[in-house]
Chains A and B, each alone.
Chain A
Amino acid sequence: MTAPSLAPALVHRRPAFSFGRWLERGGVFSWLMVLPPIAFLAALVGYPFFYGIWLSLQNRPVAKAGVFVGLDNYIAAWHDPVFWQVVVNTFLYTAIATLLKMVGGLGLALVMNQDFRFKNLTRALLLLPFIVPTVLSTIAWQWILDPAFSVINWTLVASGLASSPGPSWLGNPYLAMASLIVVNTWRGLPFYAITLLAGLQTISPELYEAATIDGASTWQRFRYVTLPLLMPVIFIVTMFSVIFTFADFQLIYVLTHGGPANATHVFATYAFDIAMGGGQLGQGAAIALTMVPPLALIILAMAIYMRAPKT
């Protein structure tokens, strides 16, 4: 019979509300901490993203009011032959460059995983292409591939492998694409190599010893020990590489500007030309947004693969 009379007493004994103690509660403290950065990201990433979708539904010349046109910009892109060339270019550029970086990076990581002198210095030097501002190193490549004074052509001509003036690296559509892929590989390969090297170093040497005792050849050790254990790292690195190669801008803008005759335009440079060069913000936003479905598919495919149970 005492229980009902005790209950109110307990409530009364609870300490008065204290602001300081409220702040110490885990949930309150956490949200107070994360709220400013989240608000910042919402304002400068979330809002622009949705505003971009809204822009893409308008006919919106620069410095003028927009007119809502529904999906007209997307339909215009669909009927634009250059847009389809851009799609092909972007996929080609991403696929080949990623493959080269992956294979080359893995190879270099395996080479670097041996013991040798000046290993740290070598690693530091090999990472330089990745560190240096891309635009600046791309300018150097532009000079290396210059139509009149290319050092590659000078070497080819001097050694008798080509007749003067030699190939026009950035003037021929196929060579221009090949050049872009090589420069992109030059810049991105060290990232693969160093990250995969870090992954290799986490593999226990005992596994290799065990495999050797079981009679595994060098290739078998690579195929059945190294590769499976390295897979998670390879996938994360590849995902980043694919996203940023797919959306590459600066390298192409500097080296070829999408030329010759749109042969190397990708989504980012084409959207830039239409929005900034042509002043058509709505059309430009629409072209940029067409990157979302393929990117989302790539990320989704990789996420599913990563989650799949590994044997």
Chain B
Amino acid sequence: MTVDRSSRLLKLWVPLGVSLFFALFPFYWMAVTSLKSNQELYSRKVMPLIVHQPTLKHYVDLITETNFLEWTWNTFLVAITSTAISLLFGAMLAYPLARIRFAGAALVSFAIAATYLVPQPLLFVPLADIINKLGLGDTLTSVILTYPTLLVPFCAWLLMGYFRTVPAELEDAARIDGAGRLQTLIKIVLPLCGPGFISAGIFAFTLAQNEFLYALIFLTKTEVRTVPVGAVAELVRGDVFYWGQLMAAALLGSIPVAIIYSFFVEHYVAGLTAGSVKG
């Protein structure tokens, strides 16, 4: 019994505890830092691991003195719109590839895979020039247009798997009854693929919230910035880091994603693992 217990302690709880500590400490540190007064924050004499005199000053300052709320709204707007576009385009690519044999299908699959593997840093220089020439600099349109290029391939890949799970007999039956292909897709197939759309949507949404490089280059005015860019560009003034506000912004910026994620963990994990495990 004791041997069993200590082996379980060693094989399970110790590694799990260490991993959890490593994974979660930065979030604890964000929270603790954001609640300290500057006096406490920048004193080497005070034990830093806990908050001695909690204050919400940094949160108040963040909301009243910076455009944090505007950045949050921009981030949401951009993430939601680019996710919606990506789901639509992803489905348009996935359905024919999953269900219909047509000439050129291999070419389309190849194009999707190639796009999937192109990292952003490869394209930011030409894209910056193109966005400027189109007069889209400092508009949310610039990122709403470019984010789906990062999200569509993933959505298409994931949705293909879900479309394949719909029994072909259902579609055949609908078509024999006189429904067109588009009607069959909308009325029969889509309602059965809800979980697929949720998985792809959650994954796309977190990726869009996470994007930094394009936002950093395209959005230089405070009123169009997203949270990551706003925090890095405006809460560090010159060489001065406003650590309390930075940590408050980091925490507040992380919470919406974490909440949405916590509701859909299973879907998220399904999306995360779909590509690698099913293949």
Interface residues of A (CB under 8 A from B): 20, 23-24, 26-27, 29-31, 33-34, 36-38, 40-41, 44-45, 47-49, 51-52, 55, 107-108, 111-112, 114, 116, 120, 122-129, 131-137, 139-144, 146, 148-149, 151, 154, 186, 190-191, 194-195, 198-199, 202, 232-233, 236-237, 240, 243-244, 246-247, 249-250, 253-254, 267-268, 271-272, 275-276, 281, 284-285, 288-289, 291-292, 295, 299
Contacts and interface: CB of A to CB of B under 8 A. Distances in A.
Given A36-B92, A151-B48, A276 B272 contact: no
Contacts of B25: 144
B126 A285 contact: yes
B41 interface: yes
A49 B123 contact: yes
Contacts, number: 266
Contacts of B232: 135, 139, 254
A30 B29 contact: no
Interface string B235-269: 00000010100110110011001100110010011
Contacts of B29: 140, 143-144, 151
B221 interface: no
The majority secondary structure among interface residues of chain B is: helix
B115 A195 contact: no
Contact of A149 (B15, B48, B105): B48
B19 interface: yes
B258 A55 contact: no
A133 B210 contact: yes
A30 B15 contact: no
10 contacts: A114-B12, A122-B20, A125-B23, A133-B210, A136-B253, A140-B29, A149-B44, A249-B212, A250-B212, A276-B128
B121 A267 contact: yes
A275 B111 contact: no
Contacts of A190: 23
Interface string B129-155: 110000000000000011011001100
Interface string B61-95: 00000000000000000000000000001101101
Nearest to A186: B22
A142 B257 CA distance: 21
Interchain residue pairs A-B with the least CB separation, the first 3: A247-B119, A268-B121, A30-B96
A267 B125 CA distance: 13
Nearest to A66: B129
A140 B247 contact: yes
A30 B102 contact: yes
Identify whether the interface residues of A are mostly helix, strand, loop, or mixed.
Answer: helix
Given A38-B111, A132-B254, A233-B277, A120 B265 contact: yes
Contacts of A44: 127, 145-146, 149
B102 A26 contact: yes
Interface string B90-125: 101101110011111100100110010111111111
B121 A137 contact: no
A133 B123 contact: no
B121 A135 contact: no
B228 A133 contact: yes
Contact of B89 (A37, A146, A240): A37
Given A45-B149, A195-B272, 5 more contacts: A127-B265, A127-B269, A268-B119, A288-B125, A291-B122
Interface string B20-36: 10111111011001000
Contacts of B246: 139, 143
Contacts of B23: 125-126, 128-129, 186, 190
A131 B122 contact: no
